Amino acid sequence: MAAPPRRSLFVLLAGLLVFASLATLATAIYEDQVGLADWHQKYIGKVKQAVYHSQKSGRRRVVVLTEENVISSLDLRSGDIFWRHVIDNNDPLHQLSLSHGKYVLTLSSGGTILRAWNLRDGQMIWETNLRTSTASDPQLHVMSNNKVAKDNLVLVSAGRWIYAVSSIDGAISWEKEFSIDGLEIKRILQSPENDVVYALGLAGSSKLALYHLSAKTGEILKDIQESLPGGLCGETVLGSDNVLVALDKARSSLLLIEFMGERISYNKVHVSDLVQDLSGSFKIQSLSNGVISLQTSSSISLLKLKGTDGLEVLQRFDQPAAVSDSLTITEKDEAFAVVQHLGSEIEFIVKFTSDLSSEIIREKVNIDQNRGNVEKVFLNSYIRTDKSHGFRALVVMEDHSLLLIQQGDVVWSREDGLASIVDVTTSELPVEKDGVSVADVEHNLFEWLKGHMLKLKGTLMLANADEVAAIQALRLKSSEKNKMTRDHNGFRKLLVVLTKAGKVMALHTGDGRVIWSNLLPSLRASRFGGMPSALRICQWQVPHHSVMRENPSVLVVGKSGAESSTPGVFSILDSYSGEELNSMKLDHSVVQIIPLTLKDSSEQRLHLIVDSNSNAHLYPKSPDALNVFFHEMSNLYFYSVDIQANVIKGYSLQKSCGLNLGDEYCFSMKELWSIIFPSDSERIAISETRKMNEVVHTQAKIIGDHDVMYKYLSKNLVFVATLSPKAAGDIGSALPEEASLVAYLIDAVTGRILHRVTHHGAQGPVHAVLSENWVVYHYFNLRAHRFEMAVIEIYDESRADNKDVMKLILGKHNLSAPITSYARPEVAVKSQSFFFTHSVNAMAVTQTAKGITSKQLLIGTIGDQVLALDKRYLDPRRSVNPTQQEKEEGIIPLTDSLPIIPQSFVTHSHQVEALRGIVSIPAKLESTTLVFTYGVDLFYTQLAPSRTYDSLTDEFSYALLLITIAVLVGAIIVTWIWSEKKELRDKWR
């Protein structure tokens, strides 16, 4: 009687085993798994120019140019991207225009490259290279209604060149170089009859030149030159058809220059006469019909031009506001928009330039306070259902987000600040308060069973298309991954990102939604004058034991200005809510931020901030922190890499800093060591160190012949690569003989150079990653004309005699002896280099909770994808014919190039445009690591470098298991009954 249950147990176990083996079979993900654990978000960056499609085309689209060097077409109804091009950063875009209603023209690279894109699908139609001296402010002018030629000419001015380019095919129809030295063309105008082009230029600071050119041939019809006393600063706007408004050199007065007459005449107006409380710089912007807006840091004034006689203030907005360019509505009417802040709302005002006293629209729009001030407005009109003119506007906010305002409402918004992430950290989510039962998550048993039946069908390939879609939807909907609580596997976290605009945002790893955002007041530009810059975000408090009830917090460090000596700013935020807990303006500058491993009693992490006067400041400033710090101070060392001076220096700390003796949180630095690279032959290209939170599972590596190699695991290992000065430029700029790369492994405590190796004929850019006891770096080999990746592994020889088991048993080993950096290390180095097909944008390595899982290199390729390359391929012990023992150990036979397996692209079909950084965050589950990559786009995924050996996948069909068990149990019972019956029958026989 006892046999059947035991048998069922065995069957159950066997079933489990079968399932477990099935579950671990997947290597790459399948098509239907895309989007389950990963998400991809597309952004464009802060919009600096926008042009709308013409009214007639009927399409509600806008083409924008952004500070991230992106040109994109957006849907005006939803804000979605129709098409987008991310242009390389060494080809900066300056101007954007539409031509013929079907081409988008862009001018880039200082006015040397003109491109036309198809408005509909974004394909490039033509590209023209113009030979000009690159100018800082090139101009693009599309001639309207040209009756001279059949097609519209595009005029490009850069420096002292003017080009006329056909907008149909990009052919240059004429070019003109003006003879005056240092001339810079500022404005290009058309005569009303379209046969004369006026070019207004400035030579030096005081000479104004006006040329009349024939629109057909470019021939100079007339030129007038005039010297202006006092000089100009170069900023000009066109007041009206014949008056140019220019800022003088002192930036205190405006020159009204009448240029259409026989000679140039001018008049000077002091700005202080117009605006009383003028402080700092101001900006002028031209609207049409002689209306000019003058924007100071605190107000906007609308000025009306009275010929060259002077200016008259018509209206003044004292709230922070922005003014749009004028928009032609009818033949005589031109409208413009002013957006100003009123408390928590913004006010959207549209006026005609012909009549400034009346307003067409005045709407109040509620807006999120965390978006800051309005920076730019782009006005657009549409025809309402009642045939009147309606207005809407794209508004660019201080946090770089883009909003569409229409009918007093925000129609859509885009968080484009996320296109310029500066730094990333993570935070755990709150712990779930009470246990939630399965029944709460799955609404009822029937639904649950139905879902699993569907999955079962999918597994057995019985599902039809509808059901497959239903399964997909079910998976995506499963709220499990988007919950706001900590999960058992540690997959759910908050990614806390700091953007260039000084905004901190928390993204949920489940679907990438923004949980909270906070535009830090200390990092806001307005009213302070200087441009604050965000530097870094780090974890400030990660509660574990004594302060478990408190929320974790993050620290944001910034600078209040561009120079290195400007004082720093400090801000501490709650990781769960985004609330600013504390904000400080530091009385010293910030050059280096060193998070220490020490924590005070409230588990706030100690930070050292090094200022430009070579003093180190301790934070948090509490006696408790100071106590902890003093205890460890003699063992604290740090280093600085000065790329300008080509020097690496190491320091220790000394009590009391030189300046103010009273400040006990300030320490002076003692220089302990220095490495001076000879500037004529080596320049520092990159320095890399190990991640502070990296966990190494084993110190030893057992090789094929049962021998042990001890890894040299020092947290103080620094990798530095230097390039010969010529090799730092573009590929092709140096000969192989002139180019070389020197790789250094340096101990940061003593400055000891552990290893130094020269690669002749190697050229930058260099990318490197340091982990455990190895470093991998990527460079270009000029001799082989290929990219290369080299690996250096460093092993500790001094512990090589620890292998004796007897010694271990008798306790005569030195494994537990403290290691000091002052002992001379005996290291052995193994290295190898391999060819690699791609150039690289960024490099990182996977990190897991315990460091057991094998590592993968995450390589951001030039195609803006992320490739996961097994570290085993970069093993210096690979040989052409590995022995049987080595094969058993898992050594891959040596090949000259590293394989690129298409399935190992972790970004699968997505591109992370303008990829800048890759961050790997360990999950609680050892096999899995979370990977977040950022550039203009964001991408997040989960990776299991050695497959998920420690868990069942989400795919695992519990229903199938249950049904199998039930069927088996049923079968057992049936067979048992049968056998009982048979036995009975036999006994009766």
Partner 1 sequence: MAPPRRALLVLAALLFLSLSLAAAAAFRSDELLLNDDDEFEGVGARPSAPSPAAAPAVSSSRRRSADAPLPGAGESNAVQFTLEHDLGGGKGFVPAGTFSARLKTLAHVTQTLTKLRFTRNDLTEDDKVAFKKLLQEDGFYTIRLPSNVLDTTKKHNVVSSIKARCIPRDSLDEHIVIHMDGVNILAVNYGSVGGCQYPRPMKLPSKWTFSSYTILKTAEQAPRTPSFADLLIEADNGLGEVMKPPEKSFWAKYWMYIIPLGLIVMNAVTAAANIPEEAAGQGQPGAQRAPAAGRRR
Q: Which is nearer to partner 1, 313 or 823 (CB)?
A: 823
Residue 894 beta carbon to partner 1: minimum distance, rounded to whole angstroms = 7
Q: Which is nearer to partner 1, 253 or 716 (CB)?
A: 716
Q: Which is nearer to partner 1, 387 or 989 (CB)?
A: 989
Cis peptide before 765 (omega within 30 of 0): yes
Q: Which is nearer to partner 1, 431 or 880 (CB)?
A: 880
Q: Which is nearer to partner 1, 331 or 896 (CB)?
A: 896
Residue 751 beta carbon to partner 1: minimum distance, rounded to whole angstroms = 6
Q: Which is nearer to partner 1, 137 or 738 (CB)?
A: 738
First to last CA, the chain: 22
Residue 757 beta carbon to partner 1: minimum distance, rounded to whole angstroms = 5
Q: Which is nearer to partner 1, 246 or 743 (CB)?
A: 743
Residue 820 beta carbon to partner 1: minimum distance, rounded to whole angstroms = 4
Residue 673 beta carbon to partner 1: minimum distance, rounded to whole angstroms = 5
Q: Which is nearer to partner 1, 677 or 956 (CB)?
A: 677
CA pair distance 241, 199, nearest whole angstrom: 13
Q: Which is nearer to partner 1, 781 or 927 (CB)?
A: 781
Q: Which is nearer to partner 1, 343 or 811 (CB)?
A: 811
Q: Which is nearer to partner 1, 505 or 746 (CB)?
A: 746
In the 8-state DSSP scheme, what is residue 592?
A: E
- Residue in 402, 325, 312, 545 with CA at minimum distance from that of residue 74: 402
Compute the chain's Rg from CA coordinates: 34
CA pair distance 583, 638, nearest whole angstrom: 27
CA pair distance 748, 716, nearest whole angstrom: 5
Residue 653 beta carbon to partner 1: minimum distance, rounded to whole angstroms = 12
Q: Which is nearer to partner 1, 244 or 743 (CB)?
A: 743
Q: Apex CA 622: angle with CA 618 and CA 623, to 5°?
A: 105
User: Any long-range contacts for 202-211 (C-beta under 8 Å, 24+ apart)?
Assistant: 202/232, 202/234, 202/236, 205/231, 205/232, 205/233, 205/234, 205/249, 206/230, 206/231, 206/232, 207/180, 208/232, 208/257, 208/259, 208/264, 209/178, 209/180, 209/183, 210/259, 210/264, 211/178
| Sequence-ordered list of residues with C-beta below 8 angstroms from that of 171, at least 6 positions apart, any chain | 128, 165
| Sequence-ordered list of residues with C-beta below 8 angstroms from that of 462, at least 6 positions apart, any chain | none
Q: Apex CA 122: angle with CA 119 and CA 128, to 5°?
A: 90
Which three-class secondary structure state does DSSP give residue 938?
strand
**746 in Cβ contact with 716 (< 8 Å):** no
Residue 255 beta carbon to partner 1: minimum distance, rounded to whole angstroms = 51
Residue 705 beta carbon to partner 1: minimum distance, rounded to whole angstroms = 23
Other Cβ atoms closer than 10 A to 135: 18
Tracing tokens 């987000």 back to the chain, one arrives at: 401
- Write the DSSP assignment of 902-917 as a string of letters: GGGBTTTT---TT--E
Q: Which is nearer to partner 1, 261 or 678 (CB)?
A: 678
Residue 652 beta carbon to partner 1: minimum distance, rounded to whole angstroms = 7
Residue 733 beta carbon to partner 1: minimum distance, rounded to whole angstroms = 22
Tracing tokens 């270009």 back to the chain, one arrives at: 780
Residues that bind partner 1 (CB under 8 A): 634, 649, 652, 670-678, 681-682, 742-743, 750-753, 755-760, 781, 784, 788, 790, 817-820, 822-824, 831, 833-835, 880, 894-896, 989
User: Cα dihedral angle (122, 123, 128, 134), rounded to 10 degrees?
Assistant: 40
Tracing tokens 């500037």 back to the chain, one arrives at: 679
- In this structure, what token pair is assigned to residue 594? 């060193």
Q: Which is nearer to partner 1, 673 or 719 (CB)?
A: 673
Q: Which is nearer to partner 1, 732 or 818 (CB)?
A: 818
**Amino acid letter at 902?**
P
Residue 550 beta carbon to partner 1: minimum distance, rounded to whole angstroms = 36
Q: Which residues pair with 106 in a beta bridge?
A: 96, 115
**679 in Cβ contact with 646 (< 8 Å):** yes
- Write the DSSP assignment of 520-569 as a string of letters: -GGG--TTTSS--EEEEEEEEE---STTTTSPPEEEEEEESSSSTTSEEE
- Residue in 505, 575, 499 with CA at minimum distance from that of residue 532: 499
Q: Which is nearer to partner 1, 753 or 862 (CB)?
A: 753
Which three-class secondary structure state does DSSP give residue 271?
helix
Residue 482 beta carbon to partner 1: minimum distance, rounded to whole angstroms = 47
Residue 650 beta carbon to partner 1: minimum distance, rounded to whole angstroms = 8
In the 8-state DSSP scheme, what is residue 262?
A: S
Residue 852 beta carbon to partner 1: minimum distance, rounded to whole angstroms = 29
**609 in Cβ contact with 592 (< 8 Å):** yes
CA pair distance 527, 541, nearest whole angstrom: 32
Q: Which is nearer to partner 1, 759 or 767 (CB)?
A: 759
Q: Which is nearer to partner 1, 761 or 935 (CB)?
A: 761
Residue 756 beta carbon to partner 1: minimum distance, rounded to whole angstroms = 5
**710 in Cβ contact with 700 (< 8 Å):** yes
Helix axes 465-477, 445-459, angle to 10 degrees: 120
Residue 701 beta carbon to partner 1: minimum distance, rounded to whole angstroms = 22
- Alpha carbon separation from 914 to 69, 89, 105 (Å, rounded): 10, 9, 22
- Residue in 618, 613, 518, 526 with CA at minimum distance from that of residue 571: 518
Residue 668 beta carbon to partner 1: minimum distance, rounded to whole angstroms = 12
Residue 523 beta carbon to partner 1: minimum distance, rounded to whole angstroms = 38
